């Protein structure tokens, strides 16, 4: 693609790929729109966030449910360890299978699009031009841009995948990364309320589990705000309320069941 064509592509798709300094339409005043986006395409960040949250909530609920039933310290300890190990493997397996299926589905759609570009490039060019026109590009410009895009098969595939399928080739996710992140972070979250029961037992361990679980839930919620951009206090409070509700329900059930 020549320099003029590249400039027109950037102008037509300024909303999608904004260079650090872009010119507004109808003015020559440069606008500084440099900003940063986190790369979440691999799946590791999402798996880590959900992993530590799930590990913390599920194991503090399990441990307090057992404690509410007046189980022995050894029983609570065993239940906590089983919850940590079983939950971590379950989360990792679930993440791997879901990410692998998603990646295979995306690759299949890419193969379909790749064959369509090879077998009927003119039909794909018209389809791409129609997409441009639907986004406000002038018909002549849309035809010119689509023609330039179709000259490069790799660029044509990337453009069709992004515009029609909603993702970019090469960013279909990493199942191993997602599974490993999920395993490690779930185990970390589940270990926090278990720690007091590895050192002591009874009411002391129960109170420490409650305290550590509350502090960790608040911290996890605050950390989530770094990804979501929401208020850290709102995010932390929400996570704390969810964990407290789950732990409260299981402790009450354990108390009721253990009394009979």
Provide DSSP, the chain: --HHHHHHHHHHTTTTS--SEEEPTT---EEE--------TTSHHHHHHHHHHHHHHHHHHHHHHHHHTT--HHHHHHHHHHHHHHHHHHHHHHHHHHHHHHHHHHHHHHHHHHHHHHH-HHHHHHHHHHHHHHTT--HHHHHHHHHHHHTSHHHHHHHHIIIIISS-TT-S--HHHHHHHHHHHHHHHHHHHHHHHHH--HHHHHHHHHHHHHHHHHHHHHHHHHHH-S-HHHHHHHHHHHHHHHHHHHHHHHHHHHT-
Residue 172 confidence (pLDDT): 67
What is the residue whose two structure tokens read 């270990």? 191
Q: Which of 90, 63, 98 is nearest to 196 (CA)?
A: 63
Q: Are 197 and 77 in contact (CB under 8 A)?
A: yes
User: Averaged over 69-76, what is the pLDDT?
Assistant: 93
> What band does 44 get if pLDDT is binned at 50, 70 and 90?
low
User: Averaged over 85-113, what is the pLDDT?
Assistant: 89
pTM for the complete prediction?
A: 0.70
**Can you name the residues that pair with 31 across neighbouring β-strands?**
22
User: Averaged over 200-212, what is the pLDDT?
Assistant: 94
Mean pLDDT of the chain: 80
pLDDT tens profile 230-254:
889 999 999 999 999 999 999 999 9
In angstroms, rounded to a whole number, what is the distance separating the alpha carbons of residues 230 and 221? 10
* Percent of the chain scoring above 90 in pLDDT: 43
User: Averaged over 94-105, what is the pLDDT?
Assistant: 88
């Amino acid at each position: 693609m020549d320099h003029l064509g590249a400039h027109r592509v950037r102008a037509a798709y300024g909303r999608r790929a904004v260079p650090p300094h872009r010119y507004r339409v109808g003015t020559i005043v440069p606008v500084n729109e440099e900003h940063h986006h986190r790369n979440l395409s691999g799946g590791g960040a999402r798996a880590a966030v959900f992993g530590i949250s799930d590990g913390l909530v599920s194991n503090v609920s399990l441990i307090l449910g057992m404690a509410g039933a007046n189980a022995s310290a050894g029983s609570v300890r065993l239940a906590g360890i089983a919850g940590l190990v079983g939950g971590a493997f379950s989360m990792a397996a679930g993440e791997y299978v879901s990410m692998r299926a998603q990646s295979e589905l995306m690759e299949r759609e890419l193969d379909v699009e790749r064959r369509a570009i090879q077998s009927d490039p003119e039909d794909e060019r018209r389809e791409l031009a129609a997409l441009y026109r639907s986004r406000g590009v002038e018909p002549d410009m849309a035809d010119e841009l689509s023609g330039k895009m179709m000259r490069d098969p790799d660029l044509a595939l990337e453009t069709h995948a992004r515009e029609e399928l909603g993702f970019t080739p090469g960013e279909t996710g990493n199942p191993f990364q997602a599974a490993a992140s999920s395993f490690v972070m779930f185990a970390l979250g589940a270990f926090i309320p278990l720690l007091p029961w590895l050192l002591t037992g009874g009411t002391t361990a129960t109170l420490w589990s409650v305290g550590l679980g509350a502090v960790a839930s608040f911290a996890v919620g605050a950390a989530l705000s770094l990804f979501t951009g929401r208020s850290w206090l709102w995010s932390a409070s929400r996570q704390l309320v969810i964990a407290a509700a789950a732990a409260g329900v299981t402790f009450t059930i354990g108390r009721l069941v253990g009394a009979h």
